[in-house]
Amino acid sequence: MALTIETLMSKMPGAFIPEKAAGLDATIQFKFTGAEPGEWYATIKDGKCEVAKGEHASPKMTLTADSSDYVKIFTGEIDGMKAFMEGKLKLAGDLNLAMKLTQMFKIK
């Protein structure tokens, strides 16, 4: 069964590694295009990660990607940095947060 954005986002809190986000208080907005368009956001605070559907009023960083590309980035099929360099992944806001993002979650 193919991994969907809905499944992926719902698994984020379980894949979160609190030690890697010590002292972090940030909200990341995800904007997906393509086959599974939609908006989600993840709030990382007090060693917890909570994910919700919709748009956050003031995210620290916004990540925009085609839904199928994002699934491939999250599962390791595509390197996130390479996707960013190729324009498949667009980031706005705190880019240091984007670098930490890959370390804060254990990818299956």
Give the DSSP per-residue string, 22-45.
TT--EEEEEEEETTS-EEEEEEEE
Torsion of CA 105, 15, 79, 63, to 10 degrees: -70
Once rounded to an integer, what is the mean pLDDT over residues 53-64? 97
**Residue 108, pLDDT above cutoff 60:** no
Q: Band of the pLDDT at 18, cuts 50, 70, 90?
A: very high
Q: What is the pLDDT of residue 41?
A: 98
Identify the pLDDT of residue 80: 86
Domains of the chain: 5-104 (3.30.1050.10)
Query: 2 exposed, middle or buried (CB, 10 Å; 0-12, 13-18, 19+)?
Result: exposed
Alpha carbon distance 49, 66 (integer Å):
23
